[in-house]
Structures are given as C-alpha cells and as structure tokens.
Chains A and B, each alone.
Chain A
Amino acid sequence: MAFQFTRALACGAAAVALAFGAAGAAQARDLIVGLKTEPSSMDPQYHALTPNIQISNTMFDGLVNTDAKLNPQPALAESWTVDGNVWTFKLRPGVKFSDGSPVTAEDIVFTYARAPKVPNSPSPFTLYLSAVEKTEAVDPQTVRITTKGPAPLLLVNLAQMPIMSKKAASGAAPEGKTTTELNSGDGLVGTGPYKFVSWKRGAELVLARNDHYWGKKPAWDRIVYRPMTNAASRVAALLAGDVDMIEDPPTDDLARLKQNKKLFVEETPSARVVYIGLDQYADKSPGIPGLDKNPLKDKRVREALSLAIDREAIVQRVMGGAAQAAANLLPYPMFGTSKERTAIPKANVEKAKALLKEAGYPDGFAITLGSPSGRYINDAKVAQAIASMWTRIGVKTSVDALAPPVFFKGRDSYQFSAYLAGWAASTGEMSNPLNSLVVTPDPKRGVGTTNRGRYSNPEMDKLVAQAGTTMDDKARSELLQKASGLVIDDYGILPVHFELSVWAMKSDLRYEGRADQTTQAQNAVPAP
C-alpha cells in the first residue's frame, strides 16, 4: 500500500483528534521505537526468535502471557485446572479479536494445529508444544489439553503461542494463511492491544490501537517501529528526538545517558547468562597444544580458571555496569535458584596459581579461547578480558574472536577447548539452562544440545530428569536447586555475568523492563 497514503491518513487522524481537544486518557500520540533487530516475519508461528516474538506479543495474546518476571498470568484463559495429564482452561468471556469477532475454543485448537504445518520454518513453534498430546474444544468457552506426561512447564510454553483467529487465518494452503500473506497483514488478526497497519521491511512497521482490546485501554494511537541496527545511530536518533524509545544503547553510553535530564534509562536483570564452556571430554583437547592429556578434566584446574576471573571488574569495566556478576546459571530469585549460590566468588590469583601447581601445572599451559564476535553484548571484549586474566595465572590464552557462523561451526564440531557463549532461559526457570548446557548430551531425548564441552554428571542428570516430571512447585524447585548446586560446585561450567537489559527513552515515558529482554511497546506508558 502506498506509504504516503497511510502517513497522510494517520496525520489526518491525529490532527482531528487534536482538534477535538483530546483531554482524558486517550493520548493523541504515537510511540516511535528504535529497534535493534527487525522481525523476520509477521507470522506468529514462523520463527521463534526474540524480535518476532516481541512484535507478536503486541498484536496477540496466548492462553496465558508472561509478566515482566516471566511468570505466567491469565490472559485469554481466565482460569484452569489440572488433573493428571489433563488441563482444562476456561476462556475469558467477552473477548473479541481486532476485527470484532468473538474468541472461541475453536481458535485455540486451530492455532495449535497450525504450528506444525508452517512450511520452511527456520525455527518452528512446535518446540513449545512438544509436551502436548492433543487439544480439544469442549465447548466454545472451554479448551482441554492432554499432555504426554506430567508437564510442569506447560503454562510457560503456552505463553509463547499467540492465538490466531480461525476465521481470519484460514485459507487455501494446509496452514491456512501463508507466511507471505500474513507478512502483508492478510489474516493477521489477534486479540492484543494493537493491530497491524503496515510493514515496509527495513523502514517501518506500523501498528494502531485495537479498539476491541479486552484489557486496559492502550495508551497510544499508533506504535511505529524503526529498525536501527547500529547502536550509536540509535542513540543519536533518540537524542535528536526522532524516536521516543530505543533498545540496547551501547554500554559505554549509559553513564552519559543517565545524566541527561531529557532521558530516562530503564535497566532490568535478564535471564541471559554469559558463560565459559570447557572441554571435559577429549583426552587431548584441540585448543591446548603441547600436552598429552587434558588439564580441564581436573576439577582443580577448572576451579583455578574460575578463580582467575574477576567478575566484578568485567561488569564494571567491560560491560559499563550493564551486567550482574554471576555465580549460578540464573539470577536469584528466579525459579530453581537458591540463596546460598548468590555469593560471587572473588577473584583470587594466588589461590588459582596454587591450585594449578597442585594439579601438576606449575608453569601453566597454553589454551585458545573461542568467542563469537557480535552475537552477545561485548562478547569479544569479555573474552579478551578473561584471556588476560587467565594469562596472569600462567594459562597463556589466545583469543579466537570469530564471526558467529564460523564460531558455531567450530564450537559444534568440538574444536574449542574453551569457549564463551550466552544462554537465555526462555522459561525463566532453572531446568532450561541445565537441560541444554550441562546435562549429558542425549540426542534421542533432546537434552544437552548445547553442552559442547560434553560435561557429564550422572547424579545431576537424574535430578534434572526427575524435576521434569514433578508437578509440585516446591519439590521441583528443590530438585533444581540441588542439581544446579552440583554442577556449580564441580565447576562444570563457569558462569561469568548476567546481562542487564537496557532501554532508553524520553523522560516523559516509562517502560517496565522484562527478564526475557523483549521490548513490548504496549507496556511503555506516559510517566506518572
């Protein structure tokens, strides 16, 4: 559609609203957001990727939605009961889609049935339905989901499934409306606070207020998203007033931005941990030349490497304060963490050297640390800082900072003895990082997929597997606390820091930061 026409229409509408003297809660105002990454698609089931998910959450709701701390809250489902493997959800009455049609259980069934049918999805949403056996509409207001076994994480996973309208999104293709059609807005109908207006890739995504929204009246007439991949340009645009809010300013600008009276900076701890993975499998590790055994298999060596890292210094000097030093895989008090493991191990160079000597490496050894460059915030810089800290205790480290695809190729083929990586726990609880990062790799069960150091601790594996089928929250939390304690005490993985998510905005706005680092613009509100 003609870009200019939409603009003119919107300008006209805004002008009319102003002319009528908009006093009261409705702001005759647009919110313009500078995004770090553009979504790859509007289809809420095409690509399970943060930039896509955050846009879907503005246009759609799931049966439940996660709040800022990643706890599931009732959304389209008002209440639910669990009986063994059967979950019964009662839908909220009176909810309408943005085209005015009512929400029924058929829409839920349609949505969940569509997910596996989306072709060529680079990251299908079936991931989140892996525990579901079948979904039925009992009556127009009740949905029954039968799971394959005990599913303590069902709610958190269902929050990632935006509910689409069966009426609007049905079509000729097996999956109904195709991804391409949805990208142009055809069939893109949801219950969220805003609805789709237009999308020009690389330039602008425009959403408008959904007048049928079931919740609190949305604050903005329109939300306009502009992709600005360069961090410095994003900040410049905010300073120039071209945008109202931006994601992820560069960490070095934070001090200056916080001092600026015209701006407000929101910082929130995220569930993303940056960690060091160590090769604990090979007898002769590829990145450690000159030795005929693998020093990383000795716990004392791993402890020494951990003690050498001055986490606070990294947080302050490399991350500009936009991070939290990490002693565990998730920040306390997220689900599965215990208070005992919050104390950050202080860097202790002397003790580290003593441990190395005790383990039989008085002169240290050489190692290569692999790291992606540009995948995580300041990744290559953190790797260099760690390399210099390790070199100081005698472990002469060279850094291989590589473009992300090259890094993944090396890591996934076990070429690195030590590597830096990040992990975001999308479920907001401990079983997620444990299952992916440190449980013994088992392709059949689909665990340990990112455990490229091939760490293996059978006792911990048992605890994590048990937690996967324990429905009682308290019992599950204790199992996870114990399991994570085991791997941390064994130095099977070295957590470095948790990223702090940062948003910068004009001083008359507020945004409650989220632990999943998403920017859900509908939650940006005028300052009180």
Chain B
Amino acid sequence: MLATIIRRLLQTVVVMVVMSALVFAGIYLVGDPISMLASPEATEAQREAIRQSLGLDLPLWQQYLIFMGQAVQGDFGNSFLTGEPAMRLILQRMPATLELASVAMLLSVLVGVPLGILAGLKPKAPRSRAIMTGSVLGFSLPNFWVGMMLIMVFAVMLGWLPASGRGDTVQLGPIGLSVLTLDGWASLLLPALTIALAKCSLIIRVTRAATRESLPMDYIKFARAKGLSEKRVLGVHLLKNILIPVVTVAGLEYGQVIAFAVVTETVFSWPGMGKLLIDSIINLDRPVVVAYLMLVVFLLVMLNLVVDILYTVLDPRVRLEARQ
C-alpha cells in the first residue's frame, strides 16, 4: 500500500511536468497574449516593450526553462493580467469551488444511490419507471437552464434565497468556509442543486444498472436463504458489491466538477476557480492556466489514487499490482 502511494506521488511529479509543457506549447499555438492584454491604442513600440517586460520575446523553450526553474522553488509566475502570483490567485478561490463540488457530490450520492437501488429492485414498478424517467430529464436538461430556473423561482419570485454570490464565511486559518454559516448554506443551496441534479441522475442510472447486475447473483440468494433481513441484504451485501462502479463514476464526476464547474459558477457568480480558468484561457494568461492545470492534474491523480484504494477495500479480489 505504502509502495503504491509513493509510486503514485512520483508519477504525479512527472505528470505535472508533462502538463506544464503541453500548456506552454498549446497556448503558444493558439495566439499572442499581448493582443489580449495591451490597450488597443498601444503602438507597436509599446507592445514590444510589454512583450519584453513579460519575457514573451524569448524563444519558447527558454521561457519554459525559466518557468521550470522558478516552479521548483514554488514560484509559478505572476498572472499577465493582474500581476498577482498565479498560484495565490487560484488558491484564494479554491475553497469556494471545493465547497460547492463537495456539497453537490454528497447530495448526489446520498440521494442517487438509494433511489438507484430502489429502481433496480423492481424495475417494472411504476415508481422505478418514474425514477428512471426523472433521471433522463435530470441529465438532458442543460445546466445553465436549470440554474436560471432555480434563480427565477427561488430568488426572484419567492425571494427565499439569494440569486448570486457566496454567503458569510468562517475563517479556519487561511481558508474561509461558508458551510459553517447559515447564510453560507442559503447561498450554497441553489448552485449545489444545479450541479447535483445532473450528477444525481448519472448515479441513479449507474446504481440501478449495477443493482440489476448483482441481484440475480448467488450470494444474494444465499444471504436471503440464511434468513437475513432485507435491510441487511441490501444495505450490506448488495451495497458493497455495487459500489465499485458508483465510486468510479462519483470520483470521475467529483474531479470534473472541481476542475470545470464554470457554467454554474458563472450563472451564480460563485467566486470559484472555474471562471478564473476560462477567463485565463480566453485572455491567454498563460501563468494562471499553467498553474491551474498543474494543480488540477495533481488533485485528479490523488483523487484517482483514493478511488483505486477504495476499490481494494470494497472488493478484496482487486489487485492494483501487476499480475503474476
């Protein structure tokens, strides 16, 4: 186990380096950051001066080496647009995104798994059909539309919840968390629901499919034959076996939401990192994009490590090492 973790950490470093190189090359291919930054009234001479001061006149490989040299010391460069340290900009906004993603995924799993099992138990029952139809709507409805509808109903018409922004936060050291305040929850609810709707539908479907797979299995029959209560049969024996695909999908979705929850963050003006990324890509603010994606790939590798470990916990037959 420890060996796996250490190996994974080493691989993470390699992955981060590869990612940074890809971003450098990629942004270079897309366009010229100066065209997005400089005032349209700047003369050619002024543009050159800006280019030099940002180091963009050097050949690309040289810029990359300078970047790597600073990165290993923890300095990921300053945003072209704001002049602030890129990593600091991102880390300031990360708690907000993590909060939103975590609450949304928690909701999705807590609601989705039971509903999925229910739908899988008696697939032809009307309530199962209802759940399945609901889930199709859940992921067909565009994210943006769901968000705007929730705002219209709960904020504009009923006035129960705020239409945008994050609520009050409580400082825990450097991090501010809004889940610890009532006002925070009021602002968190609508954006979390928006995200959770689609994710929940996915989890319901995956759970149902896995339930249908596992129900005819012998061990379920044995458990029932042994006289165990239905609650125990489902809640312990069935659950453990269907969780692998659920964990896989939940893990993947969690990663995706953390990295790319832009639409929801935009609609609700949620001060998270997603919007920062999109704006930085459009503005070709390379330091921010590089720092962001290196951080994201790190988080994703770690997340997938957790998922892999969960596999071995849920199903002892799973081995992560090479087969003999």
Contacts and interface: CB of A to CB of B under 8 A. Distances in A.
A405 B283 contact: yes
Interface stretch (B129-137, B160-168, B203-211, B306-314): B160-168
Nearest to B279: A229
Interface string A198-226: 00111110000000000000000000001
A179 B84 CA distance: 8
Interface string B264-283: 00111101100110000011
Contacts of A412: 32, 35
A202 B155 CA distance: 21
Interface string A437-456: 00000010011011000000
Nearest to A116: B49
A403 to B, nearest CB: 6
B69 interface: no
Contacts of B170: 4
A502 B53 CA distance: 37
Interface stretch (B36-44, B235-243, B295-303): B36-44
Interface string B56-97: 000000000000000000000010111111000100110010
A200 B168 CA distance: 13
Contact of A226 (B40, B159, B165): B165
Interface in B84-117: 84-85, 89, 92-93, 96
**Which of B82, B151, B162, B271: most chain A Cβ within 10 A?**
B82
Interface string A163-185: 00000000000000001100100
Interface string A401-415: 001111011001000
A405 B27 CA distance: 10
A63 to B, nearest CB: 20
Interface stretch (A121-129, A282-290, A357-365, A485-493): A121-129
Contacts of A203: 165-166, 271
A204 B271 CA distance: 9
Given A122-B81, A123-B37, A124-B46, A240 B276 contact: no
A46 interface: yes
Contact of A4 (B34, B41, B84, B171): B171
A233 B43 contact: no
Contacts of B168: 3-4, 7
B257 to A, nearest CB: 18
Contacts of B284: 405
Contacts of A48: 39
Nearest to A405: B31
Contacts of B80: 120, 122
Contacts of A4: 168-171
A174 B53 CA distance: 15
Contact of A3 (B35, B45, B169, B272): B169
B152 A408 contact: no
B15 to A, nearest CB: 27
Closest A-B pairs by Cβ, 5 of them: A446-B43, A202-B271, A122-B37, A405-B31, A408-B35
11 contacts: A40-B82, A120-B53, A121-B83, A179-B83, A201-B92, A237-B163, A239-B163, A403-B282, A405-B35, A443-B44, A443-B45
